[in-house]
Homo-oligomer: A and B are copies of this chain.
């Protein structure tokens, strides 16, 4: 054997020694004070891979958006025929089409179910109240809501805890590169659909909008992998999509489709995905998401036309109708400037206050949730009871108002939906608070947005409405049912908007209904801090383009005011769940820290040799939790023009690939480099894409343990690297912009005996919170510094 005749030193051992040397040196306080005058640090940077997923704490992993250029991939790439490329392109568009189609269909189904269930409930209760059988009405109303909540909550608690809540923060994290487990599974999808129907029908103060976004994302994920984890379609074409990048694109399509289905706002959906959800964006993706949302709109329109013929039961002017205020022509007047600005300011203040209080409530709820499933269930049912009691009893406080005969609308309302609910009043009268509270949330929004009815609601009714929805909005969001944030905020916002307009009386020129719309938009902006996408969603929702300049004005003010107090609600939730979300902009103090210093605060890097003993690979995999290992060849056999004895940074090998090789038992008897065809006989690039198996599942004999693996063909030879002098700020920009999972740090020195690798940075190492834990001095410094937006 010519290879074995040459002595090859143990590469890993050498590298480890060097690492130890470095560490000892760096711990010397003298040397630190000389070179890093700004920094003192605790010796280790501890990172935490745990996050709240659903209601449980789970281990989370990062996604591999980087293209893994190893020999197998390169060969696969080169041998890909143009037919295969066409298949791939066709598949991507086909899946975008299917995502739109199915999201649209499911949204239609959910609306149909909600309108019918809630409709029957409301009609019956209305009849009982009209007949003055108040107690029966109360029992029936509360009981029905209780039962519906029970269904939703039980499903959530028992089968899919990840289906609770809106799901948008987790989607945001996924698109940022954080894989939260069980987030996009089949069970989550089914529970989300049924749970959402149950929870919304139960009259809880939550929307179906957030859940629809999650449903779109689930659909996209399932379609992309060809089915659920257990029953998976083995279509050969799907293998082209077996990577995190294409899944990310598809899930972006799903999220936009969901927003589009929720608001029937195709452009708004695309913009929402762009502004709020996605971390990376490409022009090609803009186009594909636009395609998906176009399909959704067509499906929804088809469904509504079908239902117009009366075949959908109580679904008539259902949840899919826009809150149409297009009949109003908007005339601007200088008098309106002040109240409109006021709406924006109040929106910002209230929005940030809502964020703040919701944060507290969610922390409280997480304590309750820790007590187990029963506690979660009881919490949900308790909130349901509270909601039912409030919604049923409060309208009795309101006096009856005589109908205004000059209005066209039927008064009191006949049937289910309508502006003037009779409730407990005699004929010819209506109860204005019942019009708002005794309706589905969608109907309530439609009623409060109603234009041309300046005398319909009394100020005190609006105030009660606002107050009760503030309380319910805070306490409903965190319970164990699928719940969206959009509608509760719209309800609150519209109430204060209309209230303000009512108080201004004849001093204003814009219709009160439009003030309600502006209030809703302002509070959304104050809480969620979006601008362009919200503006477009509201324009599409209300079908009135003339609102545009004033809407922009309000949104900008609300966001500015809100930003002065706290971050957006989604960021707060992300932080609360402990998801390692990587922000687009580095913190200012990150400029004062180099990646070399960061790496020195971590346990030393574990690298592998290009040809490594099986036993060592197994040991390394079992003793560490790293997902990537640098591959370093030492004393390389004199490459062209190089002095002998140099070390070579060959690249980075992933844990999942190592496990795949161990499972296939592709071992060598002797220490030698393999030829390309040898690997290709055994492995396809696709074989490495699977993520499931763990190292603990691999069983090897002792003979096998003594053999060798040639890691070269599996090593990504083109990892992204930075020099150790790079500031953390710039590394964060690189990490985020190029969507990395591992970032290798190379030394700035070049010479004999220097390790070619200083450290590895992962997402967790670059999260501001983690760094500040290891470098408390920076934390102190940061507090005295204002941030630079």
Contact = CB atoms under 8 A, between A and B. Distances in A.
A699 B19 CA distance: 49
B591 A297 contact: no
15 contacts: A18-B641, A21-B641, A26-B641, A77-B588, A89-B788, A284-B585, A539-B545, A636-B749, A642-B751, A649-B723, A649-B748, A718-B727, A734-B738, A737-B738, A748-B756
Contacts of A25: 640-641
What is the total number of copies of this protein in its complex? 2
A21 B584 CA distance: 43
Contacts of A723: 649, 718-719, 721, 746
A692 interface: no
Contacts of A275: 283, 286
Contact of A725 (B294, B651, B753): B651
Contacts of A77: 588, 591
Contacts of A719: 723
A746 B297 CA distance: 51
A1 interface: no
Interface in A295-348: 297-298, 301, 326, 332
A585 B249 CA distance: 15
Interface string A531-572: 110011001100101101100110010010000000000000
Interface of A: 18, 21-22, 25-26, 28, 31, 35, 38, 67, 69, 74, 77-78, 82, 85-86, 88-89, 266-267, 270-271, 274-275, 281-284, 286-287, 290-291, 293-294, 297-298, 301, 326, 332, 531-532, 535-536, 539-540, 543, 545-546, 548-549, 552-553, 556, 559, 584-585, 588, 591-592, 594, 636, 639-643, 645-651, 717-723, 725-727, 729-730, 733-734, 737-738, 746-756, 785-789
Contact of A535 (B85, B267, B725): B267
B266 A754 contact: no
B556 A294 contact: yes
Contacts of A78: 38, 592
Interface centre among A35, A294, A734 (most CB of B within 10 A): A294
A85 B788 contact: yes
A-B residue pairs, 4 tightest by C-beta:
A646-B751, A752-B752, A750-B756, A82-B786
A648 B18 CA distance: 18
A553 B545 CA distance: 21
Given A85-B788, A721-B722, 16 more contacts: A22-B641, A266-B552, A267-B532, A267-B535, A267-B536, A287-B556, A290-B552, A294-B556, A326-B545, A647-B751, A648-B748, A648-B749, A720-B734, A723-B746, A734-B738, A737-B738
Contact of A294 (B35, B553, B651): B553
A649 B734 contact: no
A44 B67 CA distance: 29
Given A639-B749, A734-B738, A584 B651 contact: no
A248 B700 CA distance: 58
B332 A301 contact: yes
Contacts of A721: 721-723, 746
Nearest to A287: B531
Nearest to A296: B549
B640 A35 contact: yes
A643 B752 contact: yes
Contact of A754 (B28, B69, B536, B642): B642
A31 B638 CA distance: 13
A639 B74 CA distance: 40
A714 to B, nearest CB: 15
Contacts of A785: 82
Interface centre among A26, A643, A786 (most CB of B within 10 A): A786
Interface centre among A535, A552, A553, A648 (most CB of B within 10 A): A552
Given A725-B651, A727-B718, A734-B738, A290 B751 contact: no
A730 B283 CA distance: 18
A281 B584 CA distance: 11
Nearest to A636: B749
Contact of A730 (B28, B69, B749): B69
A583 B164 CA distance: 41
A317 B10 CA distance: 83
A777 to B, nearest CB: 14
A19 to B, nearest CB: 10
Given A283-B584, A646-B754, A717 B725 contact: yes
A693 B156 CA distance: 68
Contact of A297 (B85, B548, B720, B787): B548
Contacts of A641: 18, 21-22, 25-26
A22 B649 CA distance: 18
Given A283-B275, A545-B543, A651-B725, A556 B290 contact: yes
Contacts of A546: 543
Nearest to A757: B750
A730 B718 contact: yes
Contacts of A749: 636, 639, 642, 646-649, 756
